[in-house]
Amino acid sequence: MPKKTGKVRLRRVTLTGFRGARQQIWVDFGPGCKSLVLFGDNGDGKSSFSDAIEWFYTDRIEYLHREGCGREDYFNRYMPSGEDATVELNFSNSGLDGRKTLHRKGGGSFSQTTPDFGAYISRSAGESPILRHHTMRQFVEKSKTKKLETVEEIIGFGIVAQTREALLQAANVLGKDQNLATLRGQREERKRDIAAALQATEFEDADVLKRADELATNCDPSLSVSDDAQFKAAVEALRQRSTAGERGKELSALDDAAEKATVLSELPPLLARARALVAGHNKLAQDQERVKAIALQKLYDAAIEAMTADWVALGECPVCRAPVDTDELVTSLRDQVGKIAALVARRDKVIQATKALSDRAASLARGLQALLDHSAGAVFLTDEAKTDIVELSAALSDTIETLGRMEASYDLVEALDAPDALLTIAGREDALHARIQERRKQLDQTDKERTFYERVHKLTKLLDDHVRYRKLTRQAEAYEAQIESLQKVHEMFEAAERSAVAQALAAISADVDDFMTFLHPDDEFEGVELIMTERRGIEFTLKYHGEEVSPPMKILSEAHLNSLGICMFIASARHFNKENGFLILDDVVTSFDSGHRRLLARLLSEKLPHTQILLFTHDDLWFDMLKSDLPANVWLFKELIRWTKERGVDLRDSPLTLRERIENCLATNDISGGANKCRTLIEETLKVKCEKLGVRALEFRTGRANDQRGAAELTDALTSHLKGNQSLRDKASKETFRYLRASELVTNIGSHHSALGATTLVRGDIDTALRDVDDFESLFVCTDCDTEPAIQFSAPHSELKQCRCGALQI
């Protein structure tokens, strides 16, 4: 029995009113928490147990949920509508024993409420102890990205994915922060103004100080500027001097207003550029068919990759599997992808231009407001000019909003109107400058004064721009440094994650390879491995005749892929189910190659000696094999009794042999059940004889082809073999063969007709078939040594096989 590993094992499972269980039903695994093989025909209710255990931990049954079934479907449908259902699990650690009730009124509740129990349930909910027939290939058939996500889920990397996403999203959001965009825009404006003042495209702080020194010295030779403090002091001194009297203050204000008015001349070209951009955007947006195709670009790329890498059969559509001309489809898809790429490139250009224009429009809007607010400006602006400026401000706001919508999506936006004020604004600006000039004349400003005030104004603006530029630069750099740091931390984290996943993959791969080799010792592939792919994903790879193959479906048969799914499940459970030491394999060998199913039982027994296994099957041949192969001190063998409305499913200890189970059927007058099992007995008897004598009918076949090999085929092969070596050619032996063929036919018809409700078989027919099997068996047994002729007792390549003593040769 499973040794103690500290992991929790099942001691007893009890269901009442849950799924197939109408009355209370239980499996007691004994004090040693034995493993279990449970036999039951399809629809007999085996999965009631796996369903109950899944619900106990996770509060739902995933495969039923995916099929649209809700909690109402968890109740046994024949139980009274007011009754609750219960699932009770007893464990190797009795402190965790608990009963969960599925309430009719809604929800489920545990009988246990201790913190330890709650923590145990929570940890267990993250484990994967159940493999079902319809889910065993799911992992193998997932995309590379989904495989990685699944492995990360299996190995408990949920917190890793959350952390990675938090770091990445924070870096991305910070990079797109509107405040940062505004800071960058304002910084560029100041930079442009400083560069204009210096008549240079790029500059250093020293260049700014040098220009400040020139301007200050020209205003007052006693001033000099060689650092920030002197710069500020010089500006302060000159401003005080220029605004010492009322006349000076007004002249200074006039210069300032004239400077601010220059914004008006920038408006017409900016608004014209905005209208052109909107038109360009709308032209792109009108190509809706291609815009929608952008969403499909990944699918197109994947389809091209699948077809060019031969992942799908030539002449088959990779999506719908309909017949197509592969070359033509690849060419057409590449053409589409090229057109989409061109559209995206044009769109990128529009977005870049839009962003730049948005920043400038925002700056001009601020400039207009500053002009309206300026005391001197307001005095010299006429009411008509103010109305025009307000109209242009509104147009700028509309422009900024429209540009924002263009950045956000491909959708059509409303075309921008040219405001009427555009026609008159140039004249308003000229008039403003004329009035300012007129006032200067009235104040009797000399050329010397005008030059002085201009220089003071330039110096003041240079200081203001420089201080502001440095502040904006510091603020933007603070953002940029944080973004860079976050991106670096994200990269480091992703590297750590990849390393950990690679380590996990190596461990899983080692087991998967070991298990696959165990299940398929003679097959010509090796080195099964899960590897990280270039993009974020993982895939199986293996060596076939020494050549690397990936993905495995390129060469593996259905049965091999099933094996791979099972091996992956067992390997991941072995490494990552840290809480529970039991696994449930629910009907996973339905189409599993029959040549390998015995090896699966041995694999579970040998490779997972400390794990409690619950193996459910409807394959009675395999069930009998398991009873022979698996030690009874470690394994329980139970089978489901025919289901009734009154009781639901029920269990009993399984008889040891198929023959005993036939007797049980006959005892309960289940003639068709007996016929079915008798047919299986005949097939199994023939198969054993063929194996022992080396009859060439048991060569390797994959998947269902092997399962579907019938008794008639085996009888033909055996007869042909015996005819070839002239054995058992006497009349009595031939008659025995003939009777067995007849019994095979009778039991076959009986079991198949039972489905139609038209069987006419009676108990005597089955008794006769059993006698025929006995007679047939006796042909192959040596009366001296009581053994059958077999390869193991015979010389290599000998035509006739002999028994242990050699007296009987066949």
Partner 1 sequence: MQKISSGKELCDEFFERLLKDTTVDSSITGLLHKLYSEGDLSKEIILERLEALRQNAQEDREG
Q: Does residue 163 touch partner 1 according to CB under 8 A?
A: yes
| Helix 658-667 vs helix 620-629: crossing angle, to nearest 10 | 130
Nearer residue to partner 1 within complex by CB, 119 or 795: 119
- Tell me the residue type at 783: T
Strands 25-28 and 10-16, how do they pair? antiparallel
Q: Does residue 728 touch partner 1 according to CB under 8 A?
A: no
| Cα distance between residue 133 and residue 230, in whole Å | 84
Stretch that binds partner 1, among 100-108, 255-263, 409-417, 501-509 (CB under 8 A): 501-509
Q: Token digits for 566? A: 């099972």
The contacts of residue 785 (CB under 8 Å, 6+ apart) are: 803, 804, 805, 807
Residue 588 contacts residue 131 (beta carbons within 8 Å): yes
The contacts of residue 702 (CB under 8 Å, 6+ apart) are: 557, 558, 559, 560, 593
| Cα distance between residue 414 and residue 282, in whole Å | 9
Q: Does residue 485 touch partner 1 according to CB under 8 A?
A: yes
Q: Token digits for 54? A: 């899944």
Q: Does residue 174 touch partner 1 according to CB under 8 A?
A: yes
Strands 98-102 and 85-91, how do they pair? antiparallel
| Cα distance between residue 49 and residue 19, in whole Å | 9
| Cα distance between residue 457 and residue 588, in whole Å | 87
Q: Does residue 422 touch partner 1 according to CB under 8 A?
A: no
Q: How far is the CB of 70 from partner 1 (least distance, A)?
A: 31
Task: Identify the DSSP state of 222.
Answer: T
Q: Does residue 308 touch partner 1 according to CB under 8 A?
A: no
Q: Does residue 493 touch partner 1 according to CB under 8 A?
A: yes
Judged by CB under 8 A, the residue of 114, 503, 628, 657 near partner 1 is: 503
| Cα distance between residue 659 and residue 678, in whole Å | 8
Which one, of 791, 809, 810, 792, lies nearest residue 723 by Cα?
810
Judged by CB under 8 A, the residue of 166, 390, 423, 795 near partner 1 is: 166
Q: Does residue 474 touch partner 1 according to CB under 8 A?
A: yes
Judged by CB under 8 A, the residue of 27, 102, 504, 566 near partner 1 is: 504
Q: Does residue 775 touch partner 1 according to CB under 8 A?
A: no
Q: Does residue 170 touch partner 1 according to CB under 8 A?
A: yes
User: Of residues 560-619, which lie at the interface with partner 1 (CB under 8 A)?
Assistant: 574-576
The contacts of residue 756 (CB under 8 Å, 6+ apart) are: none
Judged by CB under 8 A, the residue of 195, 306, 400, 507 near partner 1 is: 507
Q: How far is the CB of 543 from partner 1 (least distance, A)?
A: 22
Q: Tokens 């951009």 — which residue?
A: 277
Stretch that binds partner 1, among 40-48, 201-209, 366-374, 495-503 (CB under 8 A): 495-503
Q: Does residue 478 touch partner 1 according to CB under 8 A?
A: yes
Nearer residue to partner 1 within complex by CB, 152 or 765: 152
Judged by CB under 8 A, the residue of 158, 338, 427, 609 near partner 1 is: 158
Stretch that binds partner 1, among 98-106, 148-156, 189-197, 695-703 (CB under 8 A): 148-156
Nearer residue to partner 1 within complex by CB, 167 or 649: 167
| Cα distance between residue 285 and residue 505, in whole Å | 46
User: Of residues 508-547, which lie at the interface with partner 1 (CB under 8 A)?
Assistant: 510
Stretch that binds partner 1, among 90-98, 493-501, 561-569, 699-707 (CB under 8 A): 493-501
Stretch that binds partner 1, among 159-167, 325-333, 644-652, 671-679 (CB under 8 A): 159-167
| Cα distance between residue 433 and residue 438, in whole Å | 8
Q: Does residue 263 touch partner 1 according to CB under 8 A?
A: no
Q: Token digits for 385? A: 């000019």
Binding site for partner 1 (CB under 8 A): 152, 155-160, 163, 165-167, 169-170, 173-174, 474-475, 478-479, 481-482, 485-486, 488-489, 492-493, 496-497, 500, 503-504, 506-507, 510, 574-576
